Amino acid sequence: MTPRPLAADHTAADHTAADHAGTDHAGSGYTVDGIRAAVSPILRRLSAGARERELTRQYAFDDVRALARERITLIGVAKEDGGAGGSVRDVADLVIAIARADSNVAQALRSSFLTANQVASRPDLPGRETTLRRLRDGDLFAGTSNERTGGASGSVNTTIRRDGGGYVINGEKYYSTGGLYASWFSGLAKDESGTVLGFTVPVDREGVERLDDFDAVGQRLTASGTTRLVNVRAHEDEVVIRDNSLLDNPWLGAFAQLYLAAVEAGIAAAALDDAVWFVREKARPIKHSTAARSVDDPYVRQTVGEIAARAQAARSAVLLAAEVVHGVRGLTGSRARAAGAEAAVTVAQTGVIAIEAALRAAELLFDVAGGSITNRDLGFDRHWRNARTVANHNPRQWKAAVAGAYHLTGEEPPTSGLF
């Protein structure tokens, strides 16, 4: 496919001042229940349009803006920081709900929720007050360190060099999840001495180009394409040294992996929704069925029950893991390390359950009817394709093997960021 740059009318300014005019952003009035109630009609619109967007490759710009205006990323951020309060479980519950409506949108918001989680869980986070202010303003974030420029996986070839009172960045990042929706882009770059630095710049800064070139089998509308950085200027306060080696809990990827599991749980729930709808509204019993209606066919009932069981298993595992992740907050020293390792393993096990539940639920959806359920205009194949694509972010074989090693020998998970 030919890469497409972002349309000119979707800029950082669109996501900030224009959307927030006349709104109180003090933050103290936001609550978990209030935000959930406010986003309910938005999620219904997202769900209703998900199939059509998939078929026509249209992004949900208006609904994503609406979600941002309701300050969804303030769930899990402490009240004293201007957030809505709540726990990691509350965040995971919301992510499942968004993914149930449209897993593309949930995935596109991942960097924004990861940014909010860093603020919520790390009082020592560099630039924390600036990031908090942006979250309170309803800004969305994108970010990636991924590159396709050769070298070992995880290597950084994007360069950053001193220039006057700031820096100049050059490079190309791939898998810029949520890039077309975001106001801010974060990444990693290497300076002249080989030190890896983190940077965050507005997406409408000169030299930042966002391409719509992501072309996977699923999750096609997650805005996860290439971000080109051509002589992009960064101010002193937009660049930080990223060194997590001295943290008491080095498993910073636990929440990021929990997020992916929540997306899988949402996909499983969406497969259940479509199975129930099709059986009630469209399906006819096969010729040798003993039932006059599909809803009364015992094998259809069994299949829908199996889908429901898998959706429930995925959701339950995600919410349990969220509580374990939340329990690491506030701990220090050896207690933080032990709890962090346990949380990382719990999330890895949850990933196995959520991935397999979503894939199986998406497959079973086609067993509730005959050939008509495979019609392309229904778009039911997207559930399996989306679940499969999310699963490939971190193969579940690694998750299971790491969990097994932890239980058998006490071996800690890798600190690669994927656990």
| Per-residue pLDDT tens over the stretch 198-237 | 999 999 999 999 999 999 999 999 999 999 999 999 999 9
Say yes or no to pLDDT of 140 above 70: yes
Say yes or no to pLDDT of 346 above 60: yes
Q: Which CATH architecture has domain 17-138?
A: Orthogonal Bundle (1.10)
Say yes or no to pLDDT of 149 above 90: no
pLDDT at residue 155 in the model: 82
Q: 3-class SS at 375?
A: coil
Domain 254-409 is in which class?
mainly alpha
Rounded to two decimals, the pTM is: 0.92
pLDDT at residue 28 in the model: 56
Q: In the predicted model, what is the mean pLDDT of residues 161-190? A: 95
Say which residue, 158 or 22, is predicted with more confidence: 158
CATH code of the domain occupying 159-241 = 2.40.110.10
Mean pLDDT score of the chain: 91
pLDDT at residue 287 in the model: 84
pLDDT at residue 416 in the model: 85
Say which residue, 152 or 338, is predicted with more confidence: 338
pLDDT at residue 378 in the model: 96
Please, how many CA atoms are within 13 Å of residue 235, restricted to the half-sphere of its CB? 6
| Per-residue pLDDT tens over the stretch 78-106 | 999 999 999 999 999 999 999 999 999 99
Say yes or no to pLDDT of 16 above 50: no
CA–CA separation, 207 and 225 (whole Å): 16
Whether 368 contacts 278, CB under 8 Å = yes
pLDDT at residue 250 in the model: 94
pLDDT at residue 342 in the model: 98
**SS (HEC) of 298-352:** HHHHHHHHHHHHHHHHHHHHHHHHHHHHHCCCCCCHHHHHHHHHHHHHHHHHHHH
pLDDT at residue 70 in the model: 98
- Burial of residue 292 (CB within 10 Å: 0-12, 13-18, 19+) is exposed
Which residues make up the CATH 1.20.140.10 domain(s) of the chain?
A: 254-409
Q: In the predicted model, what is the mean pLDDT of residues 240-244? A: 80
Which residues make up the CATH 1.10.540.10 domain(s) of the chain?
A: 17-138
Say yes or no to pLDDT of 73 above 50: yes
Say yes or no to pLDDT of 302 above 60: yes
CA–CA separation, 92 and 362 (whole Å): 21
Which residues make up the CATH 2.40.110.10 domain(s) of the chain?
A: 159-241
Say which residue, 2 or 394, is predicted with more confidence: 394
Band (324; pLDDT cuts 50, 70, 90)? very high
CA–CA separation, 184 and 202 (whole Å): 4
